[in-house]
Amino acid sequence: MNRRKALVGITSGGLGLVFFSGYKWYDWNRKPNLEQLQGKQEMINELAELIIPGTDTPGAIEAQVGKVVVDLITSCADRKTQNRFMNGLIDLEKKALALHGKNFPECSNEEKHGLLTEVENHDMKLDGFIGKASKKMFGKSFFRTLRDYTSIAFCTSELGASKSLNYVLVPGKYMGCIPLEKDQPSWTTE
């Protein structure tokens, strides 16, 4: 190989890397289309129901967790996290169409669970220092944001606080350590 070809290859590779990096930076920092998120509330409800399913206690759909998650993403998340969440929803829809030939809400529970498990395994790879650096640079991952906001939305809802968790409106005196009785739900305070 002669020098000219090597220099052209290195230069073109470097320029490609610079353009790709610029595109990704723009993709992570652009203003997200949050109006589109309002239309995905049913899908978010279905995802939240997979995380907190209804049993003998109410689930995420009964507590209308999707609306609160949309509100939290819209008003509390930073721009990078909003973009990653939107991209995660779009990617999940594409995976559902590619693997099962139908939209996510129309999939069976086993198919939904499989898709969410795949997303969880992909998003939870990075822990420790590398995970913290990734969160700082790129925002929280799709699954972590969904899981955290689902938990917050459910535990602060009326159904979640009163039916699934132990709730006392006026608790009385402070007792730092109280043993739980058999089959007693946990307390609603954090």
Q: What is the 3-state secondary structure (H, E, C) of 27-72?
A: HHHCCCCHHHHHCCHHHHHHHHHHHCCCCCCCCCCCCCHHHHHHHH
Residue (of 83, 107, 173) closest to 91 by Cα position: 83
Residues in the chain: 190
pTM for the model stands at: 0.71
> For the segment 142-190, what is each residue's pLDDT rounded down to a tens digit?
888 899 999 999 988 888 877 877 766 666 776 667 777 888 777 665 4
DSSP class of residue 156 equals T
| pLDDT single digits (tens) 67-77 | 999 999 998 88
